Amino acid sequence: MATNPIPSVLINAKIYNDGNELMGAGTVEFPDFEFMTESAAGLGLAGEIDIPVLGHFKSLTMKVKWNSVCEQAVTLLAPKAHQLAIYGSVQDWEVNSGTFAPVPVRIMVKATPKKSGVGKFEPGKKMEPETEFELTYVKMSINGGEMVEIDKINFICRIGGVDYLADVRGHLGM
């Protein structure tokens, strides 16, 4: 019988800095992958078309909303690139058998701080300080398979195993 898994929920995740330092508790909002575009119009086209620039993305901003202020999160304000790893486990629902299975998800980023806050002081409530980062590198793996690798500095744009900037690197002498 063929399997028919449906990813249903994030079981949980942890954030690590430089591969080993566990960071504080909170939530992560990843950026949308939005291509840079240029509008094409003229003879032979019935209107305008926004054409994506191969392998080039607009600003990739990641936000981490912490539960409260913590020393580890404050260290991420240092004006340098931080190697962050987010390890998660997604619950798949196998429809045919009615069972659930955890699937590993790993996202690695190179993140430079843009802004950070302290949050709010309210008794018995989360402070919710937020740190915002600019990403120059993102790599996402699901169940051990590389799905996305964007490296803006080294001209890498791998999606589903295809490197869309390989020829461009060659054209640029890289």
Tell me the pLDDT of the chain averaged across its residues.
Answer: 91
Q: How far apart are CA 91 and CA 101, in angstroms?
A: 6
Answer yes or no: is pLDDT of 1 > 70. no
pLDDT exceeds 90 at position 160: yes
Using DSSP, state whether 107 is helix, strand or coil.
Answer: strand
pLDDT in the model for residue 70: 81
Q: Which helix (H) or strand (E) holds 169?
A: helix 166-171
Is residue 16 within 8 A of residue 22, CB to CB? The reply is yes
The count of other CB atoms within 10 Å of the CB of residue 60 is 20
CA-derived radius of gyration, the chain: 20
pLDDT score of 128 more than 90: no
Confidence (pLDDT) at 68: 84
Write out pLDDT tens, residues 46-95: 999 999 999 999 999 999 998 888 888 888 889 999 999 999 999 999 88
The pLDDT tens digits for 94-121 are: 888 889 999 999 999 999 999 988 888 8
Q: What is the per-residue pLDDT for 7?
A: 84
Q: Which DSSP string corresponds to 58-70?
A: ---EEEEEESS--
Give the Cα separation of 151 and 56 in Å (integer): 10
Question: Would the pLDDT of 130 be above 80?
Answer: yes
Mean pLDDT value of segment 123-140: 93
Residue 2 — very low, low, confident or very high, per pLDDT cuts 50/70/90?
Answer: low
- Count of other CB atoms within 10 angstroms of residue 12: 11
pTM for this prediction: 0.89
Contact 86, 13 (CB under 8 A): yes
User: Could you confirm whether domain 5-171 is CATH 2.30.110?
Assistant: yes
pLDDT recorded at residue 23? 76
